Amino acid sequence: MLFQQFYDAAKLTSITVKQPDKVSLDSKQPKDIFNDYRSEAMKAYKDGKISINELKNDLEGLDTMERVFEVRSKIQGVEAWGTTNKIGPTATASK
């Protein structure tokens, strides 16, 4: 499943990243969804649940996930939030 492969790009300790619900997918840009995940990690740090090193690792992991998302969405022409690895018929490389 694409979802599992996508989120296996990095291991996070402060939050559990789940596939966004339909409402979020319809109403938010991908960057906003990733920023929501970052806010969750920051809240865990502010609440004293994780150390600054764990926060740094999780923010770096979210950056990695976002880059993988961008590659899969733009270059491979797949629905990166989806659950299949099917490449779209009109996939084109973009810069």
Q: Does 82 reside within a domain? A: no
Q: Does 57 reside within a domain? A: yes
Local confidence pLDDT in tens for the 95 residues of the chain: 344 466 778 889 899 888 888 888 889 888 999 999 999 999 999 999 999 999 999 999 999 989 888 887 777 665 656 544 444 444 443 33
* pTM over the 0.75 mark: no
Q: Does 30 reside within a domain? A: yes
Domain, as residue range, for 41:
2-14+21-75
Q: Does 71 reside within a domain? A: yes
Q: Does 85 reside within a domain? A: no
Number of domains in the chain: 1
> In this structure, what token pair is assigned to residue 55?
């926060």
List Cα–Cα distances, 12 to 2, 46, 68, 82, 88, in angstroms: 18, 17, 15, 21, 30
Q: Does 83 reside within a domain? A: no
